[in-house]
Amino acid sequence: MQKYFSLLLSLLLFTIVCSAQAMPLLQSGEPYYEFARHEVLVQFVSKLSGWDMAKLCEPVGAKIVEESAEMGFYRAALPEDFDEARAVAYFRSLPDVEWANFNYLAHVCYTPNDPLYAYQWHYPRMNLPQAWDLTRGNPNIMVAVCDMGYQFNHEDWAGVQTINPRDFIQNDYDPTTNVADSHGEHVAGTIFAATNNNLGVAGVAPLCKLIPIRCMDDSGTGTMMQISNAIAWAYQHDAHVINLSLSIRVTGPPSDPGPPLSTAINNAYNAGTIICAASGNDYQPYVAFPAAYTQCIAIGATGYNDMIAPYSNTGGMLDIVAPGGNMAQDLNSDGYGDGVLSTVRESTGDVYVFFHGTSMATPHVAGLAALLLSYGIQANQVRQALQQTAVDLGTTGLDNIYGWGRVNAYAALRYLNSEPHQTHIVPRSVKLSPPYPNPFNSSTIIPLEISATTRVELTVYNILAQKVTTLLPSQNLEPGSYTYLWNAQDLPSGVYLIKLSTASFEQSQKVLLIK
């Protein structure tokens, strides 16, 4: 009987793998990234009981060990000798499973290397002191930092307001940590460190409120389950801004890791949350996920001299850059590497340390987004305010190295009261509006407004900056409103860039195709 059962299980798994090749249950290249071993993530249909789920797990020896209270999926542990890809294929083959996936790993994006505003060159670089004359934040605006743990009693965190803390590493409500040089402490300090208190350093938006979420362990690594739960916790607790100074490492063209991360990002975006994410520190011409999702503001890093940092990922999905530092340089001759200075704790006590990375650039933008909201700019205007007031550092307009340019805090706050920087303002004769629906399943509509006769071209590029199709060959359009339907039913899921080109400027919109 034992031999019969073993043979039956082997035949079942063989059939599943073969089916996976035909259907396919496993996409080419899966698994795309490093993942947590001996476990998979599974979303069952809602009608299933615990007993039903356990029975479905039996053929592969899986056991349900954790449920996502925030999103409703499960983590299933596997026998140590069972291949994760076979388990994913098995679960995907079941009609009672909505999706199954590898529990991919992401990492914080920094390199560590000390009262001390004079050393925070990165704030004057983005005209933050002038912005502080207009606002230093509002306690009604909440920023969720999803990162490593925090030390709330740091000397320069006195007065920092926190709400709805959560720890998805220890699975409790206390995201504190004793680890030295915590990446989360440094990132959150860039946004929230007490300002104008004759102590330590300054924060970008010190009067806003922090939702501290721990989803990265003490080594700076987090699973897709932990990170997705953190994002869900943030938007379910009314975060206005989410800071994601983390990424899935890339060595080539990235692939969408899928649910639960894609679901969490989409849900947060639909809830009206502004998601700021690091482009990654792999020095690749591709933006890493989650920043590569069109719903995120993808942020690269620049140094003291406004040059792109030597580690920063670039590419067509990059939205904007901010000071992230370069510890290999001391261009301001202050005796320290040109990193970003913020709060941490070491064995000697509360200190201030320079780090560099896209992780350090991201909270500058997240903090600025919080200032914009505090100043009355609506959430749906924040991205445009950041882009159209940015300081152009590369090719005029949007480019693959700097995106729209380096953030300019004062100009962004004045966005509704004055004209944006001339090199970035979209000429009034042409406007490419956001496509809808977005994300979309097979087709999306691209609106275009023309107020003066203009020669335009409308093209679509994939995440590798390869042209996919031309929606409108270069031609003169008369004044009026136009819509163009892009049918992408024969293309794979992923992020695409719709680019409008004229003789003097370019404008782009990102869209996400989900099948």
Tell me, what CATH number does 325's domain have? 3.40.50.200
Query: Can 256 be counted among the known catalytic residues?
Result: no
Determine which helix (DSSP H) or strand (DSSP E) holds 256, and give its type and residue range: none
The two three-digit tokens of residue 60, written as one number:
């592969």
Angle between helices 379-388 and 358-374 (to 10 degrees): 120
Per annotation, catalytic residue among 68, 107, 122, 147: 147
In a domain, 473, yes or no: yes
Per annotation, catalytic residue among 359, 374, 501, 508: 359
In a domain, 343, yes or no: yes
Query: Can 359 be counted among the known catalytic residues?
Result: yes
118 and 93, same structural domain?
A: no
**How many whole angstroms from its chain centre is CA 96?**
31
DSSP string over 343-401: EEEETTEEEEEEEESHHHHHHHHHHHHHHHHHTT--HHHHHHHHHHTSBP-SSSSSBTT
Per-run averaged pLDDT (10 residues), the chain, 515 residues: 42 43 70 96 91 95 96 96 95 95 90 62 89 92 97 91 97 93 94 83 94 96 98 97 97 93 95 96 95 95 94 94 94 90 88 93 97 93 92 88 94 73 41 82 83 85 83 84 85 86 75 82
In a domain, 232, yes or no: yes
120 and 33, same structural domain?
A: no
pLDDT recorded at residue 17: 42
Q: Cα–Cα distance between 83 and 68 in angstroms, integer?
A: 23
DSSP string over 272-314: T-EEEEE--SS--SSPPTTTTSTTEEEEEEE-TTSPBPTT---
* Pairing mode, strands 111-112 and 221-223: unpaired
In a domain, 459, yes or no: yes
pLDDT recorded at residue 420: 33
Q: Using the Cα atoms of residue 134, residue 139, residue 144 and residue 150 in order, give the sign of their dihedral.
A: positive
Longest CA–CA span in the chain (Å) reads: 81
Instruction: Write phi, then psi, for 85 (nearest 5 degrees).
Output: -65, -40
In a domain, 419, yes or no: no
97: containing domain: 2-103
What is the pTM assigned to this prediction? 0.79
Query: Can 183 be counted among the known catalytic residues?
Result: yes
Q: Cα–Cα distance between 248 and 105 in angstroms, integer?
A: 6
Q: Cα–Cα distance between 306 and 277 in angstroms, integer?
A: 20
In a domain, 418, yes or no: no
Burial bucket for residue 400 (CB in 10 Å: 0-12, 13-18, 19+) = middle
pLDDT recorded at residue 174: 97
pLDDT recorded at residue 502: 78
Please write the tens of the pLDDT for every residue from 193-203.
987 777 788 89
Instruction: Write phi, then psi, for 449 (nearest 5 degrees).
Output: -115, 130
182 and 151, same structural domain?
A: yes
The two three-digit tokens of residue 314, written as one number:
């670039």
Q: Cα–Cα distance between 123 and 322 in angstroms, integer?
A: 10
Q: Cα–Cα distance between 99 and 87 in angstroms, integer?
A: 12
Q: Cα–Cα distance between 183 and 181 in angstroms, integer?
A: 6
The two three-digit tokens of residue 148, written as one number:
């490593």
130 and 99, same structural domain?
A: no
Per annotation, catalytic residue among 107, 122, 154, 183: 183
Burial bucket for residue 244 (CB in 10 Å: 0-12, 13-18, 19+) = buried
Block residue for tokens 């894609």: 262
223 and 332, same structural domain?
A: yes
In a domain, 276, yes or no: yes
The two three-digit tokens of residue 485, written as one number:
């339907």
- CATH number of the domain bearing residue 439: 2.60.40.3080
Q: Which amino acid is at 205?
A: A
Closest of 137, 122, 513, 162 to residue 336, by C-alpha: 122
Contacts (Cβ under 8 Å, ≥6 apart) of 24: none
89 and 44, same structural domain?
A: yes
Choose the final residue of a domain: 73, 103, 133: 103
Determine which helix (DSSP H) or strand (DSSP E) holds 56, and give its type and residue range: helix 50-57
Contacts (Cβ under 8 Å, ≥6 apart) of 419: 425
- CATH number of the domain bearing residue 56: 3.30.70.80
114 and 82, same structural domain?
A: no
298 and 195, same structural domain?
A: yes
How many domains would you assign to the chain?
Answer: 3
In a domain, 126, yes or no: yes
Q: Cα–Cα distance between 14 and 419 in angstroms, integer?
A: 64
Closest of 190, 116, 115 to residue 147, by C-alpha: 190
Choose the final residue of a domain: 54, 69, 103: 103
Choose the final residue of a domain: 354, 384, 413: 413
438 and 402, same structural domain?
A: no
286 and 248, same structural domain?
A: yes
Q: Which amino acid is at 111?
A: T
117 and 91, same structural domain?
A: no
Q: Which amino acid is at 112?
A: P
Determine which helix (DSSP H) or strand (DSSP E) holds 420, and give its type and residue range: none
The two three-digit tokens of residue 341, written as one number:
């200075």
382 and 444, same structural domain?
A: no
351 pairs with which residues across the strands? 344
pLDDT recorded at residue 504: 65
Block residue for tokens 């890493």: 288
pLDDT recorded at residue 110: 56
Q: Cα–Cα distance between 383 and 405 in angstroms, integer?
A: 13
Q: Cα–Cα distance between 22 and 93 in angstroms, integer?
A: 12
